[in-house]
Structure 1
Amino acid sequence: MMALDEAPPVLAEAKSPEFLVQSMKELLGSITKTHLDPPLTVNDLDSELFDKIKPSGEVDDYYKSSLEAAHKAVLYDIAVKQEQNPEDDQIIVDFANLMDLALICTELDLVEGLPFNLLEELFDTQTIPASERLFNYLESRVERLTVGMEGGKGKALVLLRLCNELLRRLSKAEDTIFCGRILIFLSKSFPIAERSAVNLRGEFNTDNVTIFDDIPEENPEEQPAENVDSMEIDDDIKVVEPVVDSASSDDKTKPTVNGEKPVSIDKLYTMFWSMQHDFADPTRLFNPENFQRFKDALAATMQKFKEAEKQTRESTGDSAKAEPVPPSKNPSEDSKTTPVAGTKRKREDVETEGFNPKYLTSRELFELEIYDLTFRRNVLVQAMILLDFLLSLTPAAKEKWSDPKNTNRAVQYAFTLGPEDVTPVPTLCPRAVSNKLQEAWVTKTKDHMSGYLQAEQKGKLFMRLIDTVLAREKNWIAWKTEGCHPFDIPAMKKEDVESAEVKAMNHCKAERPFPYTMGTPTLNRLWVDTGRQLHIDDLMDEDRRRVPTVESFSAGVDSDLEELKDAMFPADIDECHNNIQTKTWKALRLASGSRLHVFNRFDDRFDETRNDIKMLEEKTQEDLKPRVIATATTTTTPAA
């Protein structure tokens, strides 16, 4: 780096941070823009003031460091103003103008990576509300900021670090929208095959722990005769349990597990929320004991959901018209007020306190949540995602992993889901099963859930959306298993383009005529030979297309008469007579159209050299002679 005392006095003063700060403040003060958009360009800056910032000679390291220090000094001054007056929108515009100036300097190769360094400094000094307002700048300049950005190095790392730091500071419960904006911005900035946004190792979010009330298990022998906290169920509700007396009506609507004693609502509460541990970490099900507990909990949950849906239909008549109404703890309360399921999750009721996207796991709210359609759908979709994960571990699915393209071994588990139900192995744990879990049970349960969801309100549309999401998720998993190969298709080489053009031109050329008219050489030769024998080529004679004259038959008749004189055999004589009569009839038939009046002038005088055609010619000449004389007399006589 060039020392300050080594530079000429004028040049050193022009490159000093103090001089650049003063010049930048004058330049930014000359900008009258009051809104975030449109972004600044070189043409929007005062050329004289901007020339003070630009170096007079080559851009060296001293100038780059001075320019970066000047930008940070101006940034801190604006940050101090923003802290004093946080609601002033003009300060956000001042931040945007400074960032645009840094972008212009970067585009002119005066400095490298300055905009992202300033943004990182800026967001570190701002509160969450101010950062949310400043993030509008990033969203509006995403195309300009990411020009020439390559994943995994350079400004891509700074941008990724900046956004990840923002996400760490934000609350997923209260700043959900801002978190979504950041994630959408990252998806626009980085290519779809960027590995930094992919969970390559297939790690599960085990930090997402669902906390619920710890309720001790009840001992039936020590239970009092009347429990005031238990739910009272109407006696007229129909269930799929064996008919018992009215004294045991409280147990009619309780779910059962493997045909055993009905599960109490308190035990179902613990079993239900314990499934969230399996949803957060599906590899827990590789343990046979955990898998059996999950099966029992899911079966009891499905049974309870069915009963809730059935009671809803019986109480409302149509689940599409009203929300489910759970039974009240005290029948006397029904006349006062009826609790409506789902009201606890309406956002407008908790707008001032912030919206919490996690489940409310209180024991007192458990019955109400079960009767909520949205809640049931959320839980069943979680279960379907988990079952889909188990189906990806079947022997048939794992055969695809043998493909050489599948290079990511981190998501290829050694566990295999068995093809059929297996008998539990006698162990110390009576519910333990072998490592070959039940593929048939998983498939059957998933189909059962799909049918249940389709039967509910707008269930077919909802299930179609879920199937689409699961199908796309399978494609993403397959892509991740193959090592996240890039989606971008490389540009074709110039040689390949030229070769394609030549091939296209060859295909566009006119093809030579097919040499075989009849399709094959054999058929073509057969056609030619047959035509020679049948004189088919004579059909192409031009004389066949012209109408003959009477005089054209005269020569043919004369030739036939000469052949008749030389004929020695009766067959030849008959043939000559037949030819003479045919040609004579054709000639007379043609003459009948224009010379029919001459036919009555034929005489019966016999002459061997005088046939009917010659006689027709003579009489025609005799008929034309007076007309020729009259015409000649008319033309030679002078007018009187």
Structure 2
Amino acid sequence: MCSAPLESVNDFTASFKRLLASARDVKPNGGIEPALTTADFKGEIKAIGQKSQGAPNREYAAIETACRNIFYNLLASRSIEDPAFSEVWNLFDVLSILSDLEYCEPSLLFWLVEELLDTQTIDGCRVVFDYLDSRRERITAKHFKQKSLIILRACNELLRRLSRAEDTVFCGRVFIFLFQSFPLGDRSSVNLRGEYHVENVTVYEELPPKFEAGLEDEMDIDKGNGTREVEDGAKKAGQEPSTEQTDGSGEQIGPSSKTVKFDSQEEKPRESAPDMDTLYPVFWSLQTNFSNPTRLFDESSLQTFRSGLEATMHKFREVHHELQARGTSKLPDENKRGVKRKRIGQEDELSSSFNPKYLTSRDLFDLEISDLAFRRHILVQALILLDFLLSLTPKAKKKLEHTSNKSVLYSYTLNEENGKWASTVRNDIADYLQQGTEGRFYYRMVDTVLSRDKNWVHWKAESCPPIQRDPVSALDFAEAETGAQRACANKRLRPTPMGSLDLKFLTDRSDTDGMEKLKDPERYTIPTAESFRGPIGDDDFEISLAKTDEEKQLLIDARASKLWRTLRIASKGKLNLFDKIDDGNKLDALFEPEGDESKEKEVNGTEDNQEQLNRETTPLLVVTEKEPASKNRIEAVQEAPIK
């Protein structure tokens, strides 16, 4: 920078002053908007580019020196609230144009922005971020790799100056600018080494000495209260207190020989939620585990955390029930206002109750426990830590065996007992968060964020493989489009589809037309039963001559097929003859002509038919009236048969 020739620095300084003069003509009212472009300077940008083509490194140093001189003079003579400070924004626009055209160092703009943030108050930094938000897409579009580290460094330095309690919105603006500037798969803020924020120490008040003494006295009083309450209850009931005594073995030696046991005496006493003084140090000690979860790898620390979290959950449930009862009994007017108005007020209260760091004073502890937003904030912290513990179970660790980032993989394995406890407590917290009018929506939002965070943890354990895909080329897009059109188009049938018959014989005219062959009566005329007589006889003969069982079985199957077709055809006209067929044998009755069948009926008919036949063949005897009837004079007269 200092070795740049003075003449070159003076030339670039004069060029920048002419550019700023042109910018004042374009933006006479000053301000951040609108952004300046190359067309606003009428070829003056190209003149700077021609000067820097000879020796780029030397000219880059000269441009940087000239810009810094102008920048420092503007900072010394103008305040950021002054409208004339717009020349600084114009200078930044000029540097953005030069860096995009590669006429200067790409990161020069953010070097000056970083120095500007260091020289301004918090209110001035807000104005600087107004400029950065309005130019974000433009200043990060090109050469982002050379600018990324400077952007990250400047924003982190600003976040260290900001108070997350008083400047919450501004901190959000800085984070949003970073998220929108850096790509999704960038590793700059991933925390690959898995470091925890152990510097976040929660300081709370120690237990007062008088409270310790009072606690011991109270415990002694509680020991005697059991017998006193029983004696007082007996006196109120009009009974004398029991005077029974026992010896060392437990046998009664007093006047009474009978004892009565109540069921309530055998039952275990119910767990009662600890009071606020007892819960106070236990509750705030949980923050140490939240900021450094690896402390729970020690079994004693884990048991302490378990008891502390269970006591906190017990107290939260008790406070929730007390607030519900108090709300229904002491606020009747609020219930009459309507659900819609009440719900809107609750949502506004919850949305504005963000506190990144709660106060730990003992005097405020009761009020904080009564606040629903405070309880939810603590339970969400517990959910995050419980998910961390559940990721250390043997089943969960198998899913990360193939990962390469060993810094986020721990050798500690959660045993089965602690795993069941963590799963049970997580379900209890989920049920608690779902209570209330908007509880289900709140828990669904929290669960969605935690589920996505698990995916990020898995991605980090795999050493952050690239997740950004290259855009699809025009050739691949054209091929995909053609394939989609081909798949959706109407498909033509093949000349000979797979598995189909060859139908060329229908158009084969070598001998006769194929269609004429289909018209042959033999193809559609039902055969007679007599046509199967010969094939069945041939099969019987071949079955008797069969040499192997396989050949015999094939002939038997062929004969059964022909027999079945014969019986089916004969069933239409000769069903009365089926009684003469014995299991497929003696088929001669089916094959006899109809004439022989009628003759057999006449010969072998019934007795009535026989009498009718005799009547037709026997001559008639006729007795004349002229002569007396006598046996000797009977004349046989044969007449024609009676018809």
Q: Report if TM-score (shorter chain) is over 0.5.
A: yes
Partner of 2:373: 374
Residue 365 of structure 1 aligns to a residue in which SS? helix
Partner of 2:191: 199
Residue identity in the other structure for 1:202: G
**Superposed, which structure 2 residues align to 1:75-474 within 5 Å?**
75-83=71-79, 86-91=80-85, 93-113=86-106, 114-150=108-144, 153-216=145-208, 218-219=212-213, 222-223=216-217, 263-317=274-328, 357-403=356-402, 406-419=403-416, 421=417, 438-474=418-454
Residue identity in the other structure for 1:68: E
Residue identity in the other structure for 1:278: N
Partner of 1:63: 59
User: How far is 1:195 from its partner?
Assistant: 0.3
Q: Output the CA distance in 2 between the equivalents of 1:391 and 1:88.
A: 57
What is the aligned counterpart of 2:494 among 492, 497, 513? 513
User: Number of paired residues?
Assistant: 461
Spell out, residue by residue over 1:74-96, the C-alpha distance to the aligned partner (whole angstroms, 9 max, x if none): 2112212334xx432441x2221
Residue 317 of structure 1 aligns to a residue in which SS? helix
**Superposed, which structure 2 residues align to 1:493-532 within 5 Å?**
510-513=491-494, 515=496, 521=501
Partner of 2:541: none
Residue 272 of structure 1 aligns to a residue in which SS? helix
Residue 218 of structure 1 aligns to a residue in which SS? helix
Spell out, residue by residue over 1:427-457, the C-alpha distance to the aligned partner (whole angstroms, 9 max, x if none): xxxxxxxxxxx11111111111111222234
Spell out, residue by residue over 1:179-235, the C-alpha distance to the aligned partner (whole angstroms, 9 max, x if none): 2111111111111000002121221111111111111462457537999xxxxxxxx
In structure 2, the CA distance between the partners of 1:307 and 1:140, relative to structure 1 (3 Å rule), is same
Residue 400 of structure 2 aligns to a residue in which SS? helix
Partner of 2:559: none
User: How far is 1:416 from its partner?
Assistant: 1.0
Check whether the contact 2:8–2:62 (CA below 8 A) recurs between aligned residues: no
In structure 2, the CA distance between the partners of 1:480 and 1:374, relative to structure 1 (3 Å rule), is same
Q: Output the CA distance in 2 between the equivalents of 1:458 and 1:273.
A: 27
Q: Output the CA distance in 2 between the equivalents of 1:163 and 1:304.
A: 41
Residue identity in the other structure for 1:309: H
User: How far is 1:51 from its partner?
Assistant: 6.8
Residue 401 of structure 1 aligns to a residue in which SS? coil
User: How far is 1:21 from its partner?
Assistant: 5.3
User: How far is 1:367 from its partner?
Assistant: 1.2
User: How far is 1:166 from its partner?
Assistant: 1.7
Q: Output the CA distance in 2 between the equivalents of 1:456 and 1:495.
A: 56
Question: Does the alignment pair 1:485 with 2:468?
Answer: no
What residue ranges of structure 2 are gaps of 5+ in the alignment? 222-228, 233-267, 335-345, 506-514, 526-593, 596-643
Residue 304 of structure 1 aligns to a residue in which SS? helix
Check whether the contact 1:193–1:484 (CA below 8 A) recurs between aligned residues: yes
Check whether the contact 2:273–2:314 (CA below 8 A) recurs between aligned residues: no
Q: Which moved more, 1:212-221 or 1:51-60?
A: 51-60
Residue 274 of structure 1 aligns to a residue in which SS? helix
Q: Output the CA distance in 2 between the equivalents of 1:267 and 1:192.
A: 46
Residue 154 of structure 1 aligns to a residue in which SS? helix
In structure 2, the CA distance between the partners of 1:469 and 1:306, relative to structure 1 (3 Å rule), is same
Residue identity in the other structure for 2:167: D
Residue identity in the other structure for 2:389: L
Q: How much identity, in percent, do the aligned residues show? A: 37
Check whether the contact 1:20–1:70 (CA below 8 A) recurs between aligned residues: no
User: How far is 1:372 from its partner?
Assistant: 1.4
Check whether the contact 1:27–1:45 (CA below 8 A) recurs between aligned residues: yes
Partner of 2:41: 45
Partner of 1:334: none
Residue identity in the other structure for 1:373: L
Residue 496 of structure 2 aligns to a residue in which SS? coil
Check whether the contact 2:273–2:315 (CA below 8 A) recurs between aligned residues: no
Check whether the contact 2:164–2:171 (CA below 8 A) recurs between aligned residues: yes
Spell out, residue by residue over 1:525-545, the C-alpha distance to the aligned partner (whole angstroms, 9 max, x if none): 9xx9998677569xxxxxxxx
In structure 2, the CA distance between the partners of 1:514 and 1:21, relative to structure 1 (3 Å rule), is closer
User: How far is 1:345 from its partner?
Assistant: 10
Q: Output the CA distance in 2 between the equivalents of 1:170 and 1:105.
A: 32
User: How far is 1:497 from its partner?
Assistant: 6.2
User: How far is 1:127 from its partner?
Assistant: 2.2
Check whether the contact 2:196–2:291 (CA below 8 A) recurs between aligned residues: yes
**Superposed, which structure 2 residues align to 1:527-542 within 5 Å?**
535=523
Check whether the contact 2:99–2:105 (CA below 8 A) recurs between aligned residues: yes
Residue identity in the other structure for 2:425: T
Question: Does the alignment pair 1:19 with 2:14?
Answer: yes
Q: Output the CA distance in 2 between the equivalents of 1:308 and 1:245.
A: 30
Q: Output the CA distance in 2 between the equivalents of 1:308 and 1:506.
A: 67
Rg larger for: 2
Q: Output the CA distance in 1 between the equivalents of 2:230 and 2:347.
A: 34
Q: Output the CA distance in 1 between the equivalents of 2:231 and 2:369.
A: 25
Residue 147 of structure 1 aligns to a residue in which SS? coil
Check whether the contact 1:269–1:366 (CA below 8 A) recurs between aligned residues: yes
User: How far is 1:263 from its partner?
Assistant: 3.5
Residue 18 of structure 2 aligns to a residue in which SS? helix
Q: Output the CA distance in 2 between the equivalents of 1:159 and 1:532.
A: 93
Check whether the contact 2:100–2:142 (CA below 8 A) recurs between aligned residues: no
Spell out, residue by residue over 1:341-388, the C-alpha distance to the aligned partner (whole angstroms, 9 max, x if none): 99999979xxxxxx9631111101111111111111111111111111
Check whether the contact 1:316–1:322 (CA below 8 A) recurs between aligned residues: no
Residue 100 of structure 1 aligns to a residue in which SS? helix
Residue identity in the other structure for 2:390: L
In structure 2, the CA distance between the partners of 1:245 and 1:14, relative to structure 1 (3 Å rule), is same
Q: Which moved more, 1:208-217 or 1:126-135?
A: 208-217
Spell out, residue by residue over 1:145-174, the C-alpha distance to the aligned partner (whole angstroms, 9 max, x if none): 112335xx4222222222222222222232
Residue identity in the other structure for 2:92: M
Provide the aligned C-alpha RMSD in A.
Answer: 4.4
Residue identity in the other structure for 1:111: C
Residue 30 of structure 1 aligns to a residue in which SS? helix
Residue identity in the other structure for 1:384: L
TM-score normalized by the length of structure 2 = 0.62
Question: Does the alignment pair 1:72 with 2:52?
Answer: no
Q: Output the CA distance in 1 between the equivalents of 2:136 and 2:115.
A: 18
Spell out, residue by residue over 1:573-631, the C-alpha distance to the aligned partner (whole angstroms, 9 max, x if none): xxxxxxxxxxxxxxxxxxxxxxxxxxxxxxxxxxxxxxxxxxxxxxxxxxxxxxxxxxx
Check whether the contact 1:25–1:74 (CA below 8 A) recurs between aligned residues: no
Q: Which moved more, 1:305-314 or 1:100-109?
A: 100-109
